[in-house]
Amino acid sequence: MHPLSRSILARVLLSAMLVLLPAVGAGLLMATAHAQPPPPDQPSLTLPWQELGLSSEIFLDPDHPSSFTMPVPTGLTAVRLSGTIAAPLNIDAGTLVITGNGNLLAAIDLPPGATSRPATPLDVDLSAAGGGGSSVDLTFDIRPRFDPQYCGPRRQLVLNNLATVFTGIEVAPTTIANFFPTVLQRATIFTPTDADADEQQAVLLLVSTLARLYQNQPMVISVVNQPRGATPPPADQLARTILVEKGGTAGLKVENRDTPEVFLRVSGSGGELSTQVSLLANQLQALAQVDTVRVEQAESPAAAPSGDTMTFRQLNIEGQTDVIWTSSLSVGVDRASLGSDRVDGVQVHLLADYTPVARDDAASVVIRSGGVVVYRAALDNTGLLDATFDLDSEKIGQFVDLDIALTYTPRETCGALIAPLTFQVDPRSTLTVHRGGPPLHGFGAAPSEFSPSFMVAMDGTGPNQLAYVARLVASMARSSSKPLSPQVVDLNTAAAASTGALIVANAEALKETALDPPISGDGTTVEVGVPTEVRVDIAGGLGSIQAFADQPRNRSVILVTTTAAWTLVDPLFSYLGGLNDDLSALKGDVLFAGAAGEPTNLAIRTTGDASDTAESPQSLSRSIAIGAAVAVVAVIAMAAAVLWSRRRRTSRGSAD
């Protein structure tokens, strides 16, 4: 080729590359969507979506874009979204489009599920979403290729391990309104070591309030004793410090505002302390855009719907889904939302609208509650479902859950004329509750048996009793949609009352009451009902958390106790911490440990739940191991011995 021709060709190719490279480069950046690392002087913080109050795993389908509001702490900027893309399910190929505040953030190619890797890293630059706001609205949309009309099995894409990277430093609060941020990792409440009942009452009301306000976040609430008059230490980023101490003018005050040493002071005398906390309990703190506020009168939280019949609209129950072949829908409400009186049964009158089913098509609905089928029917051309069925206490547990499975088989083959069946729950549906029944036994009694209010008593024999109570109050408040109000009283009042009670007292103090817990005793002497009472000597004593039905007083009780030192209880709360302080994760009615500090969770008395029956001789025998001196093994061995002895006496009687 002539040198001049080669020169012209080179210039032409260079011009073409200059035109094409920006577009190609943009496409590559859009697909990989990598964020630039933050500048060296900008500290970064990575928060899993769970800590933002969102699920760390989301399920996407091509027919419905999914939107999420991601909170952004004040002073921080969201710069990157990370996670993992699982292999697409029944998606031949397509694009995952992610937008933030309406701006395109990424368009990621999805290879066919059969050829894609099991997991692909997700890394999306969030800068195009814009900064400075208190949240970012993210939308995920799957756009399949080559199949505008799809009638096959359900298509799905799963994103998991989602987390957001933030840069910046959180701004210290300056007012009551902005003291508690949208994202909070820890709240530490300081109170005097010699706190009186009014101070304890305010602390526990604050614990219950914060646990409910942040129930979608794994926020840690701690109660710490300190000398009266001391100033609490500063909190870390995304943490807050509160001081509850009587004295001075009643009110809430942001001390050391706009500094790292900032904390919230709750002050006043007597019941004024709890009155100040009511501003938070009623979620009115946004009105207090000042650093000091005084609440003159506490307003009672909104009550649950009155009466025994409640509509789905009143209970905020709603649901809708589209069906081709199969689909499912779950709706429900927690037991505490059904009123303060005990519920031992529910009648459901379920109304729903759906696309009328053509004569040659077929559709059906199956409804389960607690894993048991409670209703089934074919869907017809009326487009209306009117179903009535009953749920007993065993089916509802702490939640009234309705799992609705739908099928729809159209006569048409897949094509442009086919359309999904739409099924929507009518808000005029009702729940009619039947009041009454015996008190619930075991850890499954919380929180409904303690809603809306319950008594709290501490005998004062241990230094960390208020911290123990706070952990349990927070656990119950997180699992209740309604506010819980703990009421601090003395031990004798709580033991003799007919309302739910949370009691922290040693075994010696409990002997002066009429309470009959599954495990009792004093010192090294431990008494266990399995089901008859037996007594055994255990060196070092036993610490326990127990939940039981107090039948004579028609209520449920949670008891934290020890037959010896209070240090025996500490391993139990460490064990509970491993369960995210979730009481509902415990089975049976007792969590206990001996001097070896080995927590064991079992059922001493039957609860009426098949999964929480009392230990059988066989299962107890299997639990016995070498080292019978350990308290845990001693108790289990003791129970087995008693039951075996009773069986032997029965066998001898039959032989005679």
pLDDT (tens digit per residue) in 24-69? 333 333 334 444 555 556 789 999 999 999 999 999 988 789 999 9
Q: In 310-432, which residue ranges form alpha helices assigned H by DSSP?
A: 393-396
pLDDT band for 415, please (50, 70, 90 cuts).
low
**Does 98 share its domain with 217?**
no
**Does 153 share its domain with 241?**
no
**Does 505 share its domain with 627?**
yes
**Does 379 share its domain with 282?**
no
**Omega of the bond prior to 452 within 30 degrees of 0, cis?**
yes
Within-domain flag for 302: no
Mean pLDDT, residues 64-90: 92
Lowest mean pLDDT among 55-69, 574-588, 640-654: 640-654
Within-domain flag for 531: yes
Give the domain extent around 4.
1-29
**Does 156 share its domain with 245?**
no
Last residue of a domain, one of 414, 435, 456: 435
**Does 331 share its domain with 350?**
yes
Calculate what percentage of the chain has a pLDDT beyond 90.
64
**Does 281 share its domain with 371?**
no
* Two structure tokens written together for 546: 């127990």
531 pLDDT above the threshold of 60: no
**Does 194 share its domain with 217?**
yes
Within-domain flag for 173: no
Within-domain flag for 415: yes
**Does 532 share its domain with 471?**
yes
> What CA–CA distance (Å, rounded) separates 127 from 134?
14
* Two structure tokens written together for 13: 């190719």
* pLDDT for res 650: 46
Query: What's 57's domain CATH number?
Result: 2.60.120.260
**Residue type present at position 477:** A
Last residue of a domain, one of 293, 324, 345: 293
314 pLDDT above the threshold of 50: yes
In 10 A of CB 350, how many CB atoms?
Answer: 22
* pLDDT for res 303: 59
**Does 472 share its domain with 419?**
no
Mean pLDDT, residues 598-602: 93
Within-domain flag for 607: yes
**Does 136 share its domain with 228?**
no
> What CA–CA distance (Å, rounded) separates 619 from 275?
51
Alpha-carbon distance values, 435 to 402, 438, 547, 556, 607 (Å): 20, 10, 22, 16, 19
Number of structural domains (the chain) is 5
15: buried, middle or exposed (CB in 10 Å: 19+, 13-18, 0-12)?
A: exposed
**Does 451 share its domain with 536?**
yes
Q: Which of 278-292, 462-476, 603-617 has the largest mean confidence?
A: 462-476
> What CA–CA distance (Å, rounded) separates 31 from 227?
58
Please tell me the pTM assigned to this model: 0.83
Calculate what percentage of the chain has a pLDDT beyond 70.
81
411 pLDDT above the threshold of 70: yes
